[in-house]
């Protein structure tokens, strides 16, 4: 049985772009039903009565411009994934779009039917995964609210602590296995959390905070560490001295795992499991901050684009293309130093941050190592094929004022490598044509 077509809404006021995207979708391998509107207002009216699986949203419309357009649509229909369409390649805008609810950011003159189909497919899958994680988080919070927390009551005069049976059970112990000393709690705190937790407790006992609230890890009887939320309030006596503190104890291990899953989805590419554009940009910003403190600090950005990747998708299918991308990412990783940072930033585009170079020649050596690694054929779909890549190199000492400028410089050098015959690297020169 053929898959049910995805209902897409294209919000675009340029008739030429509407025709172009209709043609892309018609010639792609996906099953889509497309409607279109030319304004934010018309879009929102349609969404009130027509269910949609995804919105393709231009950022420049008669009644909306830039991020305000995205925020308006996302706020009205947060349950529908959005892909941004724009005529400008603006890294900062792309990042802000993703932070404000967009699933992808496509530059119109770089889009073809294959890229559009892949972007739609990934956006819907990624959005559904986010939705599932959020539902699980809400379900967990309801369960936690309906369950009994552990209770503790610390007499600071006698230095004895009452731990409830539930408190002990959460750590895997029976009543008779836990004594009444504070060490039963404190000795189980993870070494990395100890200074912070004792500091938070001391601050409250000094009456410098209204409540003691601390998230930290404790060792369980089974040898693992679990995350707990400890909350308490002190009672103060003569001369404002603390005489007692009592509170609750909640296992938040599942909640912490969900937080980690959400962070991974936000910062990692689901196909290659490599960091995505957002995480790469944060690392690049830190490198620029280091550069402001140390004039001698040198780093570089590599911009890689596979040569002829569209041919693989068209002749072997998207599954083969995905397999190749994952293998390509793995090969790239083996060519880098432990301090280097690899990211997938687009369909078949990758960025590498080469950190703390001793001299510019190190970047060239790594680029040559990458090209050498591709001399071994890729195997998929019962066949073998050689794949090459074009690499652009840009150094941090090239007077780039913003991190976006360095990425654009590397991108420009990569384009020069493609123009020169592909399967090679080019180093960005300040005066080379753009």
- Just list the catalytic residues: 348
Distance CA 18, CA 9 (A): 11
Kindly report the CA angle at 317 between 11 and 88, in degrees rounded to 5? Answer: 35
Distance CA 19, CA 91 (A): 27
* Distance linking the first and last C-alpha atoms of the chain: 49
Kindly report the CA angle at 325 between 319 and 328, in degrees rounded to 5? Answer: 140
**For residue 433, what is the DSSP state?**
-
SS3 call for 149: coil
Residues in the chain, total: 434
Strand partners of residue 259: none
- 278: which 2 tokens? 């957002």
**Which residue stretches of 206-296 are H helix?**
253-267, 277-293
Distance CA 279, CA 277 (A): 6
- 345: which 2 tokens? 């930033």
**For residue 4, what is the DSSP state?**
P
- 412: which 2 tokens? 């420009």
Angle between helices 253-267 and 113-146 (to 10 degrees): 170
- 365: which 2 tokens? 């050596």
**For residue 108, what is the DSSP state?**
G
């Amino acid at each position: 049985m053929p898959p049910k077509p995805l209902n897409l809404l294209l919000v675009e006021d340029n008739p030429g772009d509407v025709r172009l995207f209709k043609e892309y979708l018609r010639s792609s391998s996906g099953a889509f039903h497309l409607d279109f509107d030319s304004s934010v207002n018309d879009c929102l009216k349609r969404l009130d009565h027509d269910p949609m699986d995804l919105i393709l949203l231009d950022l420049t419309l008669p009644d909306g411009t830039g991020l305000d357009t995205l925020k308006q649509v996302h706020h009205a229909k947060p349950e529908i994934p959005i892909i941004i369409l724009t005529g400008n390649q603006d890294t900062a805008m792309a990042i802000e779009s993703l932070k404000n609810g967009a699933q992808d950011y496509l530059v119109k003159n770089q889009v073809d039917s294959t890229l559009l189909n892949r972007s739609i497919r990934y956006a819907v899958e990624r959005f559904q995964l986010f939705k599932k994680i959020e539902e699980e988080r809400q379900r967990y919070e309801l369960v936690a609210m309906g369950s009994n927390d552990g209770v503790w009551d610390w007499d600071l005069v006698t230095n004895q602590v009452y731990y409830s049976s539930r408190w002990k059970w959460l750590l895997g112990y029976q009543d008779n296995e836990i004594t009444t000393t504070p060490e039963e709690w404190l000795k189980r705190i993870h070494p990395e959390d100890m200074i912070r937790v004792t500091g938070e407790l001391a601050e409250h006992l000094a009456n410098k905070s209204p409540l003691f609230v601390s998230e930290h890890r404790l060792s369980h009887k089974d040898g693992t560490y679990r995350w707990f939320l400890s909350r308490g309030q002190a009672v103060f006596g003569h001369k404002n001295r603390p005489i007692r503190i009592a509170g609750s104890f909640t296992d938040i291990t599942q909640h912490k795992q969900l937080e980690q899953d959400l962070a991974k989805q936000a910062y990692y590419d689901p196909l290659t499991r490599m960091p995505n554009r957002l995480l790469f940009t944060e690392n690049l910003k830190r490198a620029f901050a280091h550069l402001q403190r140390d004039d001698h600090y040198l780093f570089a950005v590599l911009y890689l684009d596979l040569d002829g990747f569209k041919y693989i998708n068209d002749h072997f299918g998207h599954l083969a293309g995905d397999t190749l991308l994952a293998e390509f990412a793995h090969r790239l990783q083996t060519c880098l130093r432990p301090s280097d940072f690899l990211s997938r930033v687009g369909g078949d585009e990758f960025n590498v941050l080469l950190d703390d170079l001793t001299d510019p020649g190190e970047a060239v050596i790594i680029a040559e190592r990458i090209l050498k690694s591709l001399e071994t054929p890729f195997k998929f779909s019962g066949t073998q094929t050689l794949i090459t890549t074009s690499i652009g190199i840009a150094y941090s000492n090239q007077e780039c004022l913003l991190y976006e400028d360095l990425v654009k410089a590397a991108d420009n050098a990569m384009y020069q490598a493609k123009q020169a015959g592909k399967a090679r690297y080019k180093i960005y020169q300040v005066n080379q044509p753009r």
